[in-house]
């Protein structure tokens, strides 16, 4: 179960993430999950309904950062209509449905997250942020299970 | 006298369970401790035989329930050395107790007054004061930390000016684990005429705590961190202050006389216990008072401190692992970071090894800012732990480092 979660793809993307940085002239959004300190500054450059460029500066756990890295790889160069399908397939997978492997590609490495309810918000951080920039249809926010009493 | 682990095992059957195929090592006691059989039995006995409302029935069950509920108040009074039963107000927990003081006692603050807390407080002992200060135009000040992660009282004179009206601090930090110099702080507060509140969420039931000896004005704690149930805690208050304070909730049980336009308040503690209280939970808390007394508060403190000392030494000896706060003298929590691994990944992988720890900011976000880590992992020890738990923790950290190596 735990090997499922920490697949090599995830650890690789965590250690050496793709598309790190900021893009000049792009739309920028910040998002964070204050209870765990996961943070992202996402830059998205959209032209003619296509994500021409995307980059992020992030901080957080392996799941949130690998998910961001994988997401930026998957959406770069894609039209919003395709990204919408990716988003919904990704969300379904994270919420426990069988993944659409063909559509999701490397992001399938994150399917193990669905068995760790507490980590679902980590995997969704990037997509949730992207959905603030692009019309991907807002998901119901995941309750944050990590800030209990302590 | 040392309590044999066999006794603990018998009282806490949960220790025999497995998690993800491994025997459970529960190291999240600072969040919530496990509940021993006698506490569960007391709660069950109320529901099984004496389930009724309190203070209002003339029938046998209600009288029994009232006796059990008020008996629990007496047990709390004895455990924490409260001056009388009227000083023991049942609340939902520490958070509710501190909010009660901030909302009610806090009404006496004037613009220009100050409240002194520490930078290490749990949000429960920070936000009520922060909001009160905003409401009243008062200033909120903070006692800083030493480099080691204990309270730095070297500037106390400067912070504790005569306009300070309240000094509130945790007796034991839920992250750094230090035991605050409560006597010194309370004496200093008194010297400028400030009231004092001790957040005893991590100390009552973990070490001998006496309201009378501390000489503070208020003391707050929760049942669920000292072998009791959730949903119950206490505010212990000095009678004169409780007498002068207005209730913050209105309803049944808290009044003496009511007409359609007016009402007069019952005396403390009832003035602050509007509505049907958490009866079973209070009874459970009473049983928890008995339980920790029976184990011995000196033993609990010594046992927990010894485990923390060992854990802090073992963790800080692992390359790439950093312990936050002092390495000795902690009572319960041992917060740590592993280089290159986010605390959430640490907690998830430790869980996979059967080791339950907490990861996050532990409701002390400003403190984590100072520690330079937005969140940490925290192993916290109590009566249910033994030295071999530390070996399991260390081995599990090895697994984490291997996965992320
Ligand atoms: C030091 C401290 N204060 C206050 C609290 C709040 O307690 P509760 O959530 O039971 O109200 C906690 C624990 O969560 C704590 O550790």
Q: What is the helix (H) or strand (E) element at residue A43, kind and residue range? A: strand A38-47
Q: Kindly tell me if the per-residue pLDDT of A56 is higher than 50.
A: yes
Q: What is the pLDDT of residue A1?
A: 63
Please give the share of chain A, as a percent, with pLDDT higher than 70. 91
Residue bearing tokens 């369970």: B17
Structural contact between residues B81 and B210, judged by C-beta atoms closer than 8 angstroms? yes
Mutate which of B28, B29, B124 for ligand 1 pocket (most atoms within 8 A of beta carbon): B124
Q: Kindly tell me if the per-residue pLDDT of B108 is higher than 80.
A: yes
Q: Does B151 touch chain A (CB under 8 A)?
A: no
Tens-digit pLDDT profile for residues A133-142: 999 975 444 5
- Identity of the residue in B174, B341, B361 whose CB atom sits nearest the CB atom of A35: B361
Average pLDDT, chain B: 96
Mean pLDDT, residues B113-138 taken together: 98
* Chain B (19-48) residues lying within 8 Å, Cβ to Cβ, of chain A: 20, 30-32
Q: What is the pLDDT of residue A147?
A: 44
Q: Kindly tell me if the per-residue pLDDT of A148 is higher than 50.
A: no
**pTM for the structure as a whole:** 0.93
The domain over range A2-135 is classified in CATH as 3.90.1640.10? no
3-state secondary structure of B265: strand
Tens-digit pLDDT profile for residues B141-195: 999 999 999 999 999 999 999 999 999 999 999 999 999 999 999 999 999 999 9
Mean pLDDT, residues B100-125 taken together: 98
B386, burial (CB in 10 Å: exposed 0-12, middle 13-18, buried 19+): middle
Mean pLDDT, residues A67-80 taken together: 97
pLDDT band at A149 (very low <50, low <70, confident <90, very high): very low
ipTM of the complex, rounded to two decimals: 0.84
CA distances, A19 to each of A27, A58, B18, B86, B362 (Å): 15, 11, 42, 64, 32
Strands B263-265 vs A50-59: parallel, antiparallel or unpaired: unpaired
Q: Kindly tell me if the per-residue pLDDT of A144 is higher than 90.
A: no
CB-ligand 1 contact for A150 (6 Å cutoff)? yes
**Domains of chain B, start order:** 5-29+297-403 (3.90.1150.10), 40-294 (3.40.640.10)
Q: What is the pLDDT of residue A142?
A: 53
Tens-digit pLDDT profile for residues B259-303: 999 999 999 999 999 999 999 999 999 999 999 999 999 999 999
Q: What is the pLDDT of residue A11?
A: 95
Mean pLDDT, residues A92-104 taken together: 94
Q: What is the pLDDT of residue A140?
A: 44
Average pLDDT, chain A: 89
Report the DSSP beta bridge partners of residue A50: A47, A79
Respond yes or no: is residue B363 known to be catalytic: yes
Domain ranges of chain A: 2-135
Tens-digit pLDDT profile for residues B23-46: 999 999 999 999 999 999 999 999
pLDDT band at B84 (very low <50, low <70, confident <90, very high): very high
- Identity of the residue in B30, B342, B378 whose CB atom sits nearest the CB atom of A62: B342
Q: What is the pLDDT of residue B1?
A: 78
Q: What is the pLDDT of residue B186?
A: 98
Q: What is the pLDDT of residue A4?
A: 78
Catalytic residue, chosen from B234, B289, B308, B363, is B363
Decide if B31 and A36 are in contact by the 8 Å CB cutoff: no
Contact residues of A toward B, CB < 8 A: 1-2, 5-6, 11, 34-37, 39, 59-63, 116, 118-119, 122, 146-150
């Amino acid at each position: 179960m735990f090997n499922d979660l920490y697949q090599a793809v995830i650890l690789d993307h965590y250690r050496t993430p793709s598309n790190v940085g900021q893009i000049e002239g792009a739309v920028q959004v910040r998002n964070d999950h204050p209870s765990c300190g996961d943070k992202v500054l996402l830059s998205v450059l959209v032209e003619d309904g296509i994500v021409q460029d995307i980059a992020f500066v992030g901080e957080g756990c392996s799941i949130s950062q690998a998910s961001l890295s994988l997401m930026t790889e998957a959406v770069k160069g894609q039209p919003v209509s395709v990204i919408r399908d990716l988003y919904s397939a990704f969300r379904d997978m994270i919420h426990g449905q069988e993944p659409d492997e063909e559509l999701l590609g490397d992001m399938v490495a994150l399917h193990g997250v669905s068995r760790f309810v507490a980590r679902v918000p980590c995997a969704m951080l990037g997509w949730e942020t992207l959905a603030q920039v692009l019309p991907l249809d807002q998901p119901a926010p995941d309750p944050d299970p990590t800030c209990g009493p302590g | 006298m040392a309590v044999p682990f066999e006794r603990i095992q018998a009282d806490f059957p949960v220790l025999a369970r497995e998690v993800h195929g491994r025997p459970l090592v529960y190291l999240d006691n600072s969040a919530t401790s496990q509940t021993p059989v006698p506490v569960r039995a007391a709660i069950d006995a109320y529901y099984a035989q004496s389930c009724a409302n309190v203070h209002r029935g003339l029938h046998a069950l209600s009288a029994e329930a009232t006796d059990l509920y008020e008996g629990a108040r007496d047990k709390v009074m004895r455990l924490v050395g409260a001056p009388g039963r009227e000083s023991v107000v049942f609340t939902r927990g520490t958070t509710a107790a501190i909010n009660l003081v901030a909302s009610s006692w806090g009404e006496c603050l004037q613009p220009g007054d100050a409240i002194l807390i520490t930078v290490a407080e749990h949000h429960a002992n920070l936000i009520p004061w922060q909001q009160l200060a905003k409401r009243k135009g008062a200033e909120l000040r903070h006692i800083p930390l030493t480099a080691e992660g204990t309270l730095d009282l070297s500037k106390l004179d400067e912070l504790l000016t005569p306009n300070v009206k309240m000094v509130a601090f945790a007796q034991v930090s839920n992250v750094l684990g230090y035991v605050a110099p409560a006597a010194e702080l309370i004496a200093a507060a008194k010297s400028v005429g400030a009231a004092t509140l001790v957040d005893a969420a991590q100390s009552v039931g973990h070490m001998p705590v006496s309201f009378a000896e501390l000489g503070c004005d208020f003391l707050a704690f929760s049942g669920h961190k000292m072998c009791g149930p959730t949903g119950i805690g206490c505010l212990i208050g000095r009678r004169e202050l409780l007498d002068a304070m207005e209730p913050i909730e209105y309803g049944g049980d808290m009044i003496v006389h009511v007409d359609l336009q007016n009402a007069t308040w019952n005396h403390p503690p009832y003035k602050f216990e509007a509505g049907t209280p958490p009866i079973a939970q209070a009874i459970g808390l009473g049983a928890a008072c008995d339980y920790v007394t029976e184990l011995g508060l000196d033993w609990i403190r010594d046992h927990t401190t010894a485990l923390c000392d060992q854990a802090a030494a073992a963790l800080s000896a692992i390359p790439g692992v950093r312990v936050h706060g002092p390495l000795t003298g902690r009572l319960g929590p041992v917060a740590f970071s592993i280089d290159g691994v986010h605390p959430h990944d640490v907690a998830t992988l430790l869980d996979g090894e059967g080791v339950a720890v907490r990861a996050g900011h532990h409701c002390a976000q400003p403190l984590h800012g100072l520690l330079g880590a937005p969140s940490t992992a925290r192993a916290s020890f109590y009566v249910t732990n033994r030295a071999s738990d530390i070996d399991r923790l260390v081995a599990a950290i090895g697994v984490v480092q291997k996965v992320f190596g």
